[in-house]
Amino acid sequence: VQVASFAQAGNADAMMKKLATIGQPHMREVDVNGKRWYRVMVWPRHEKVSQDTLLSEVRQMGLADAKVISNLN
């Protein structure tokens, strides 16, 4: 589940700490139009947790723009 993108790594780190309560957070650095962005994603801790369930938990945290993504490009 992709949660957010940040222009500053510190903001991404703070979000990852919040997400650690519900799953395994990850950050990916990407360049978009010459600008560095930090994408924050969260993966389920267990195989039995579906992406839809995890997405619901993320949205309950007030992160309504989170979405399930099928590739990491």
| Whole-Å CA distances, 43 to 3, 32, 48 | 10, 23, 12
| Whole-Å CA distances, 57 to 1, 43, 52 | 11, 12, 9
What's the pLDDT tens digit per position in 9-65?
999 999 999 999 999 999 999 999 999 999 999 988 877 788 888 889 999 999 888
Stated pTM of the model: 0.78
Q: pLDDT value at position 42? A: 92
The yes-or-no verdict on residue 73 having pLDDT over 60 is no
What's the pLDDT tens digit per position in 23-33?
999 999 999 99
- The average pLDDT across 1-13 equals 95
